[in-house]
Amino acid sequence: MSGHTCAGGSGCPQEERVVSKNRTVYLKDYQPPQWLVDDVYLDFALQPSATEVISTIRYRRNPLAEQGDALLLDGHDMELLSIRLDGELLMPERYRVHAGGLEIPAVPERFTLEVTTRIDPQGNTSLDGLYRSGGNYCTQCEAQGFRKITYYPDRPDVMAPFTVRMTADAADNPVLLSNGNPVASGKLDDGRHWAEWQDPFAKPAYLFALVAGNLACVEDHFVTASGRTIALRIYTEAHHIDQCDHAMASLKRAMRWDEERFGLEYDLDLFMLVAVDDFNMGAMENKGLNIFNSQLVFASPEIATDDDYISIEAVIGHEYFHNWTGNRVTCRDWFQLSLKEGLTVFRDQCFTSDLHSAAVKRIEDVRLLRALQFAEDASPMAHPIRPASYMEINNFYTVTVYEKGAEIVRLYQTLLGIDGFRRGMDLYFQRHDGQAVATEDFLAAMADANDADLSQMQRWYDQAGTPRLSVRMEYDSAAHRCTLHVSQSCPSTPEAEVKQPFLIPLALGLLRADGTPLALQLAGEAEGCGSSRTLLVTEAEQSFTFVNVPEAPVPSLLRDFSAPVILDYPYRAEDDAFLMAYDEDPFNRWAAAQRLAMRTMLAMLAGEAADVELIATAFSRLLADPDLDAALKAEALMLPSESEVADACAVADPGHIHEVREQLRVRIATLLQGELESTHAELAAASGLDDLAMQQRKLKNVCLSYLLTLKTGRVIELAYRCFLQAACMTDQYAALAGLASCDCAERKLALSAFEAQWQGEANVMGKWLAVQAGSSLPDTLEQVKQLLAHPAFDLRNPNKVRALIGTFALRNPALFHAIDGSGYRFVADQVLQLDRMNPQVAARMVRALMNWKRLEPVRSGLMRAQLQRLSDAGLSADVGEIVSKSL
């Protein structure tokens, strides 16, 4: 089962199915729920430090579950005030309260349970359950926050309609919201008022939400394809109300897109979105009442960068798309998380890609996947997109479940085509609307709708690790045949030593020496068809022969990143430069640039001669290419990150990697200074929020960042001028971030000007903290420590923690890995403090200390010592799981 928690121990019935914190929950132990819920009625008497919750719930035995008449409910961090069963007050001897829940040993077949609890929203610093943010009440219940509100079978396969009533002080909380539709409200004579909401759709408890407080609202509407008018409301504190237009426009685009692409309409008459400052994650798809981290709502050109604009649109889309993929069809248990997250990330990727540049979107997603997910797959926390076990489910909201999960969903579309994928989605909703299902059900819908055998896809759900796809080419000049020998392998990961072969679609093309594509004809086919096609790799080793190949071609492999694998082909540097210039597939032009840069850096690390001229010439040709858009040029010019380089080394020396990467950037900037300056100047005037302007700003700022590596008075002056004259946050931020790594007077001036300008905007001050924590100057850690005491920082606010501590720990490898161990000690100190307040956020930070085994011996020992120090302290289940799996 999905993890009923109680203290276990002697006398606990069904002990084998009862799990306490710090114990592992297994997928193989899943059992259907013993009790089903007919309906839930919640009554909240909201008070900041003592909120009383009366839950009135009708239970009925699940005919499909085993016998036994004990009721086990999840719950903790609450004060239990009373229990009534069918109206009768239960004396304490009739029930038992464990550390993780409540047990009533004998209950009838059907009954109504009324439980009164008292909770402390104000004191809830975990931001999980009911808590306060900025003086308002809000909730976060995924995955297991509802059990901190009332006792409940808190598992996603228990679904019920909810009615929610709340009373609160009317002056402090004019707005009272919950899921679904408002049904009644009124005033009380003690200065309090109340409202009642009803959600007609049965849902799991993790989708419950409540918001109460003093909020302003922007209102708009959307007319669905079938002609229904939906009211749309965005709530926020009044002083941010004029920064919600982009969010509202994004929401409407998302609603339209889901209708057009998937035929999916919104189902309630009201859709609400609330922005809060204190939030553990990005956002949450509560039915009809999405709650967002304010960072992913507020936008105006002055406060949000172009990247912020795009992510706001993407996340608004993501949460909206969950209404079908997550809410209408939900997960049977938390092992199935990728069923909704991988699918919904894939949907939001398609949304962005349809609205903007598809190639740029693909490149950015793959960059993230390679930098973070490949690293996770090679770490002690490696897990399949459907894990077989977990200790703390909050630790599994990972790049693997989300981003690799999305890659696996994309595989279906690659295999079945857009129309085939749509047939599969249609069948999935037809079969499972209103149900809580497993990843196998999604696979089956895709297969059945297309009469396809997709059974091998199952391995992507069960096996962790990044497969390596090795390709060798053999050209027979006499027979004009070209054979690709393909083999796949996958390293062992915690869940399995030996891996079964994956189903890997390999999209490719073959290029002639003059750069033109060849028509592709496999041996046995009557004629050539197309210049790009997808081979299916299903075995550990396979060969594919193309005929009518008049000359030895250069293969363009894994086009559009057709599978989440590491490609291994003996490309020469000249091949990469050639593909950068000629490949029809824009993604592979970028991939070739990355490979060339990676090869150069690895050579430099090994102390070998590196052909920097070749890469500079290739970059210069790209810059001059009239057919390439500015954003693609920018993407190609950005070198693989230091962490990607570290992943490519058997044993990493982060200091050396940083040096080498900077050196390469300096040498490229020196060789291309003229072109970088002229490109920068040509694009200086880019303005507005259209795609073209955004693409131009992106390239302009990549040029600036190269130029700044030269650290001459002239470029520093240029950057400072850009900072002062910036007409939007994109340019202001780019200049500031560049100057932050230069030891010069302009750095100080820019930082204080930025602070003075933006001290009233919490999210913008997050950027100010982040640029300082990301600086490559030697005293960065000292600065970070001082900033902990700055009024813009707050250890209780996750955005600020991520900006300052997170940037230093996870995005500043050179300083974090300082050879004296100071970075490791600092992060461990912060994790210990944070863990007492907010385990989920602490568990994100502690991941920085996970990979000690991959480091050179000195750092390795220092990092391990900090993990040991943490392990010896008392830790939350969240941090404890990561520390214990890393040691």
Q: Give the binding site for ligand ARG (CB under 6 A).
A: 142-143, 280-281, 284-285, 318-319, 322, 341, 394, 397, 840
835 binds, among ligand ARG, Zn ion, none (CB under 5 to 8 A by kind): none
Spatial distance between the Cα atoms of 698 and 631, rounded to a whole number of angstroms? 6
- The question of whether 319 is a catalytic residue gets the answer yes
Ranges of H-type helices in 379-454: 399, 405-432, 439-450
370 binds, among ligand ARG, Zn ion, none (CB under 5 to 8 A by kind): none
Residue 350 Cβ vs ligand ARG, minimum distance, rounded to whole Å: 16
Residue 323 Cβ vs ligand ARG, minimum distance, rounded to whole Å: 11
594 binds, among Zn ion, ligand ARG, none (CB under 5 to 8 A by kind): none
CB closer to ligand ARG, 127 vs 863: 127
Yes or no: say if 554 and 575 are a contact pair by the CB < 8 Å rule: yes
Yes or no: say if 669 and 616 are a contact pair by the CB < 8 Å rule: no
What is the DSSP secondary structure assignment for residue 878, as one 8-state letter? H
**Exposure on the CB side of residue 208, measured as CA atoms within 13 A:** 31
Residue 399 Cβ vs ligand ARG, minimum distance, rounded to whole Å: 12
Residue 703 Cβ vs ligand ARG, minimum distance, rounded to whole Å: 35
Residue 849 Cβ vs ligand ARG, minimum distance, rounded to whole Å: 20
397 binds, among ligand ARG, Zn ion, none (CB under 5 to 8 A by kind): ligand ARG
Residue 331 Cβ vs Zn ion, minimum distance, rounded to whole Å: 11
Spatial distance between the Cα atoms of 251 and 301, rounded to a whole number of angstroms? 18
What is the DSSP secondary structure assignment for residue 516, as one 8-state letter? P
DSSP letters, 636-683, are: HHSPPPHHHHHHHSSSB-HHHHHHHHHHHHHHHHHHHHHHHHHHHHHT
Yes or no: say if 317 and 256 are a contact pair by the CB < 8 Å rule: no
**Exposure on the CB side of residue 361, measured as CA atoms within 13 A:** 18
CB closer to Zn ion, 341 vs 403: 341
The gap between the terminal CA atoms of the chain, to the nearest Å, is 28
CB closer to ligand ARG, 349 vs 600: 349
Question: Which 342-361 positions form the footprint of Zn ion (CB under 5 A)?
Answer: 344
Residue 130 Cβ vs ligand ARG, minimum distance, rounded to whole Å: 14
Spatial distance between the Cα atoms of 59 and 40, rounded to a whole number of angstroms? 9
Task: List, in order, residues 6 or more apart from 876 with CB less than 8 Å away.
Answer: 392, 835, 839, 842, 843
Q: How far is CA 430 from the centre of its chain?
A: 28
Spatial distance between the Cα atoms of 524 and 83, rounded to a whole number of angstroms? 74
Tokens at 734, concatenated: 């780019």
Which amino acid makes up residue 639? L
Tell me the site size for Zn ion, rule CB under 5 A: 2
CB closer to Zn ion, 40 vs 296: 296
Report the side by side order of strands in the sheet with 175-178: 129-133, 136-140, 210-213, 175-178
CB closer to ligand ARG, 142 vs 647: 142
Q: Which helix (H) or strand (E) holds 834?
A: helix 822-837
Query: Which of the following is catalytic: 319, 392, 644, 881?
Result: 319
CB closer to Zn ion, 439 vs 807: 439
Report the side by side order of strands in the sheet with 289-293: 216-223, 229-236, 270-276, 289-293, 283-284
CB closer to ligand ARG, 396 vs 824: 396
Which amino acid makes up residue 370? R
Q: Helix (H, G, I), strand (E, B), or coil: what is residue 383?
A: coil
Question: Which 325-344 positions form the footprint of Zn ion (CB under 5 A)?
Answer: 341, 344
Residue 530 Cβ vs Zn ion, minimum distance, rounded to whole Å: 36
Residue 315 Cβ vs Zn ion, minimum distance, rounded to whole Å: 9
Strands 88-89, 468-476: pairing is unpaired
CB closer to ligand ARG, 203 vs 318: 318
Of 284, 290, 221, 289, the C-alpha closest to 256 is 221
Residue 881 Cβ vs ligand ARG, minimum distance, rounded to whole Å: 13
Spatial distance between the Cα atoms of 699 and 697, rounded to a whole number of angstroms? 5
Spatial distance between the Cα atoms of 298 and 292, rounded to a whole number of angstroms? 10
CB closer to ligand ARG, 152 vs 397: 397
CB closer to ligand ARG, 658 vs 844: 844
Spatial distance between the Cα atoms of 182 and 172, rounded to a whole number of angstroms? 20
Contacting positions for Zn ion (CB under 5 A): 341, 344
- Catalytic residue list: 319
